[in-house]
Chains A and B, each alone.
Chain A
Amino acid sequence: MNVILCGVGGNGVVLTTRIIAEAALRDGIKVRVGEVHGLAMRGGTVVSHLRLGSDAKGVLVPLRKADILLAFEPLEALRQMRFLKRGAKVILNNQTYVGVDAHLGLSKYPEVCDILEKIEAAQDIVDVPASRLAIESGSVIMTNVVMLGCLSASKELPISRDSLIDAIKSRVPPLMIDSNIKAFELGEKAFQDWEKNVVCQA
């Protein structure tokens, strides 16, 4: 299984990838991760490739081989589409991060509804207000944990909920554990709400 995580520097893409990888290891699943470090922390694009089970070979996912995209930002999600299989699961935080370039008028941020529509045409997309839910659970810093909760509830990963929770606990300060669990649960609920919604519409 191939998972791509993407976002903007400061979103916690690298840390989130690491949490999933550690959870996989706890469940005895073979894992390999490719990360990009360095300049990435200055508000630039950040991508990591997570490979599980028999796909855990090279660090980079080949084009059109990713099963899941966990995207922390809509424009960044768009950038990764060429890596996805048809019908791949896309879990998207719908909070945009418009860069300095766009503020200066050097580039134009695409309309979010256009992005969503485009992704929806080929992929199985779940969009969640992860940043807002993170603020609800205490701080926008936990956006990644909301996303993890959502990913866990989607049952797309062959990794147990307990292992994900344990991996999160091992990565956050003791005082922050409760609010992180809350963020995780809000993520789970967001996925369930979304599912219900889809059923209603259908």
Chain B
Amino acid sequence: MHPLLEDKPGKKILVLGNEAITRAAIEAGVTVAATYPGTPSSEIGNTLHKIAKEAGMYFEFSTNEKVAFETAAAAAVAGVRAFSFMKHVGLNVAADAFMTLAYTGVRGGFVILTADDPGCHSSQNEQDNRYFAKMSGVPMVEPSSPEEARKMMHYAYEISEKFEEPVLFRTTTRMNHVRGVIELGEIRPPSERVHFEKDPGRFVTIPSNARKRHLVLLDLIPRMRDEAEVSPFNRVVVPEKMNTTGDIRLGLITSGVSFNYVMEVLNNIDLGVQVRVLKLGMTAPLPEDLISEFCLENDLVLTIEEGEAYLEEFTKTILKERNIPTQVLGKRDGHFPIPNEYNPDIVLKGITSALDSIGRKVDVPETEKVDWDGSIPEPPRPPVLCPGCPHRGTYFALKRATKGKAVYPTDIGCYTLGIMPPQSVGDVLICMGSSAGSAGGLSRVVDEPVIAFMGDSTFFHTGIPPLVNAVHNGHDFVLNIMDNSTTAMTGHQPHPGLPIDGLGDPAIAISIEKVCKGLGVQFVKTVNPLNIKETQKAFEEAMAFKGTSVVITKSPCALLLDRNLRKAGKKRVKYTVDQEKCRKCDVCTKTFACPAFYKIGDDHYIDPDQCFSCGVCEQVCPFGAMGPIPEGGE
């Protein structure tokens, strides 16, 4: 049995933040869960993919976040507990549904997890989704540790059912990817089938109903605020090493992972002032009285939060409204940064800077300094396409076809790494599915051919509407759908093009080629990108075609292929360089640049531990020096 399914309340286990949340969903009796994979939330889906069926939960990888949201929301409207989770930008995709569901509310508990990514570890922006709670009016919670996340999931379902509203569960990368200990709770079984109680006046949002429901929501907000005032997750914390003699009372308002950094700083350094911390776990609606009282009890208050000045702006507004004179400092005063993630050093710097501004010097003990002068340059190590990656073959063949003269809108997936040299393809990227839309616009104004890239999972996510648009409006560009038969970047989740579903059951695989033809694309060709000549020819034909054309480069992800071969106990043929034939022309390293290639002096070699045996190097070398290691050789 999977450790997250064990019915042993009280047992302590070490888990990833995302696993703590998954376990809590099982404990809470979630009956329907749906997602589209996105880091830093991906491991929740990966884990449910393995265990949902055994837990009696319905789970799916939906085509995109909006569909995932609608699937789960409908189950909650019907009256069972539901869960939808996504990365922060995924909530943009689901926002249309999210904003209006706040009006109708739900009958079973519904939690929507948004995994924000301060620092852009694996995202195209670092938007602060706490504003989605404010904009929609739904309540929000923010955990600081795996065990708190587990408890908070239960609480989120309780308040969701109490107010019949969805609850936003906001995490950040360091919450999702922290590993810590949780104590298993009791498991509530998922619901049986329910009878749908019709209530169109509430759930059908025609304007006359929407107007009424907006009033219902506005009436609810003060009640939800009352909940925040007494929520067990909103509390004042006195640091272990409290300075009781300081003449200034300093209050720190914080939430999420910033709380941990604050406590770490307070544990290590005596600020010379009395300090109390208001730790907020329920952060929408914000507790006005609690915050006001906390500020009244302190001489100076700092708001410490990653991202935007969400707590700060609210605190300053409330204090102004209530004529409370306590000074509040934060980002708006330049003491704390908006971009990037925090750490204890940034938090300490912000606190000392704020205290300094009111004339208090903090005596920061001179920590043991290391003589680290950075005198040796540390060249960065950007991520690259893996050895054997079919995308490398695609790009190599494509560049031979375009001779470097083309504009390349790209999209979100491993293939985005094509922007790195020597491939250097990728000129415009906004968001999931945007390449085909961007290509349409570019094809109307630029003087070179336009070639757009899109992955298979991205195609199903948001790639189909722009392709329909291109065909109908007669946009002249090539869409290269890079089908590696998985959602590779986020950890190999299945998608609608594969014969398996979220529960691991057999499913109807949808053919990308047939979809394209069905949409009216007049030129559709599927090729194997590990065959350079064939791929180059397909691109040349597609570029010569007037109108929207599609080239599907289809070859499985090298990591997946390697894993399957290893499972099957099969060995792969490795490739090597015949030193007698090699003319040291550098074409292989300079234009193909497989990470398995290396050089000693001018001599080229292939690292057998890294070679994935794709065989493309054999086609790349102009002198036939690269090829499979002969049997019994080396």
Q: Which residues of A contact B (CB under 8 A)?
A: 8-9, 17-18, 21-22, 25, 30-45, 56-60, 62-65, 75-76, 78-79, 81-82, 84-86, 98-104, 106-110, 114-115, 118, 121-123, 140
Contact = CB atoms under 8 A, between A and B. Distances in A.
B377 interface: yes
B379 A101 contact: yes
Given A62-B344, A100-B593, A107-B380, A34 B178 contact: yes
Given A58-B260, A101-B382, A38 B39 contact: yes
A43 B179 contact: no
Given A31-B14, A78-B378, A38 B384 contact: no
Given A36-B177, A39-B121, A104-B421, A58 B261 contact: yes
Interface string B590-609: 10010101110000000001
Interface in B212-261: 257, 260-261
B345 interface: yes
Given A39-B122, A110-B376, A118-B376, A59 B381 contact: no
Contacts of B267: 57
A43 B14 contact: no
Q: Is the interface of A mostly helix, strand, loop or mixed?
A: mixed
B381 A8 contact: yes
A35 B378 contact: no
Contacts of B39: 37-38
A108 B263 contact: no
Contact of A78 (B14, B376, B386): B376
Contacts of A76: 381
Contacts of B180: 31-33, 56
Interface stretch (B302-310, B364-372, B503-511): B364-372
A8 to B, nearest CB: 7
Contacts of A100: 384, 420, 593, 595
B141 interface: no
> Which of A40, A45, A58, A63 has the most B CB atoms < 10 Å from its CB?
A58
A140 B264 CA distance: 38
Contacts of B40: 37-38
B375 interface: yes
Interface in B37-67: 39-40, 42-43
Contacts of A38: 39-40, 42, 121-122, 489-490
B343 interface: yes
Contacts of B417: 42
Interface of B: 12, 14, 16, 39-40, 42-43, 121-122, 145, 174, 177-181, 257, 260-261, 263-264, 267-268, 343-345, 348, 367-372, 375-386, 414, 417, 420-422, 489-490, 559, 589-590, 593, 595, 597-599, 609
Contacts of A57: 260, 263-264, 267
B125 to A, nearest CB: 15
Contact of A18 (B42, B179, B375): B179
A98 B597 CA distance: 10
A140 to B, nearest CB: 5
B227 to A, nearest CB: 28
Nearest to A42: B383
Contacts of A78: 376, 378
Contacts of A58: 174, 257, 260-261, 263-264, 343-344
A39 B422 CA distance: 19
Given A34-B174, A82-B370, A75 B179 contact: no
B40 to A, nearest CB: 7
A143 B342 CA distance: 32
Nearest to A45: B381
A108 B371 contact: no
Given A38-B39, A122-B371, A75 B379 contact: yes
Given A100-B593, A108-B379, A59 B370 contact: no
10 contacts: A8-B381, A25-B181, A37-B40, A37-B121, A38-B40, A42-B385, A42-B417, A99-B595, A101-B380, A109-B379
A48 to B, nearest CB: 9
A17 B559 CA distance: 22
A8 B595 CA distance: 12
Given A43-B384, A103-B598, A33 B178 contact: yes
A63 to B, nearest CB: 5
Contact of B264 (A9, A62, A108): A62
Contacts of B343: 58, 60, 62
A103 B599 contact: yes
Given A81-B372, A85-B368, A101-B379, A35 B177 contact: yes
A42 B372 contact: no
A42 B414 contact: yes
Contacts of A104: 421-422, 589-590, 593
A45 B372 CA distance: 20
Contact of A122 (B43, B367, B372): B372
B368 A64 contact: yes
A111 B539 CA distance: 43
